[in-house]
Structures are given as structure tokens and as C-alpha cells.
Structure 1
Amino acid sequence: MPQKTTPQDARQGRRGFPVLLVLMFGLLLAAVAWWGVEAYGLMLDQQQAVEMPASHDTPAG
């Protein structure tokens, strides 16, 4: 006669808090990386010289 297995014993792994913790930590790490890249991009943008086109409304002389 086959042995009865409870649903808890039939699961391949535990669910719950550790999986959620890993997912939340990964999301937090991605947000920190995004913030770092954004700050670096703003820093580079502020260092660039701004070129203004020549004004066309001044009289040629």
C-alpha cells in the first residue's frame, strides 16, 4: 500500500520569508545602483560646456 504524504512534506522547498527577503534586497540593490548612475550622469552633464547658437536678431555690421 502506498504511503500517504502530507502536502507540507510533498513540497520541494520552503516558501515564505527568505524568498521575499532576497527579492526585496535585490530590488533595493537595483534602486541604489540606479541612483548612483543617475547621480554620475548629472555630474557629467554639469561639467559640459553649454554652447549657445549665434543670435540671428542682431544687425550685421
Structure 2
Amino acid sequence: MGFRPRKTAVQQVEQIDRWIATEERREIERRHGEQARPPAPDWPYTSAVATWRVSAPVTSTEIRH
């Protein structure tokens, strides 16, 4: 078996084509997700977790497993 540069080049181009196709599919899925998402509410949303404040940081020695 000898070195086959043409076959290697063809394989590389095919791999690049697969990468491009994968990225194009991801972009289509992302756009579909954005379009399928319901509109944002017109009132500000804040959750209790987002507004919760910790008075002191918890250290790893305070955490019990």
C-alpha cells in the first residue's frame, strides 16, 4: 500500500462537507427554536431565587454530604 494523496484529499473534503452540513443543521434548529419560543411577557419577571441574597458565603467545610 502506497501513499494515496488523492484519496486523502477527497476524504478531507468529504469531512469538511459533513462539518458544514452539521453546522447548517444546527443553525436551522436554532432558528426554529427561536421562532417556536413564545414571546417574552410584557411585565418584568423576577424569581425568588434570582432575588434571594446570601448573608455569608458557604464554605466547603460547612457542606455535609
**TM score, norm. by length of structure 2:** 0.56
Equivalent residue for 2:60?
none
Unpaired stretches in structure 2, ≥5 consecutive residues: 44-65
Question: Which amino acid is 1:21 matched to?
Answer: V
Unpaired stretches in structure 1, ≥5 consecutive residues: 1-11, 55-61
> Structure 2 residue aligned with 1:25, among 14, 20, 24?
14
Distance 2:24 2:34 in 1: 15
Question: Which amino acid is 2:28 matched to?
Answer: A
Query: Which runs of 4 or more aligned residues in structure 1 lie more than 2 Å from their structure 2 counterparts after TM superposition?
Result: none
Q: What do the CA deviations read for 1:3-53 (whole angstroms, capped 9, x no partner)?
A: xxxxxxxxx841420010010000000100110111011101101112254
Equivalent residue for 1:14?
3
Paired positions, count? 44
> Structure 1 residue aligned with 2:32, among 36, 43, 47?
43
Larger radius of gyration: 1
- Alignment RMSD, CA only? 1.9
Percent identical? 9
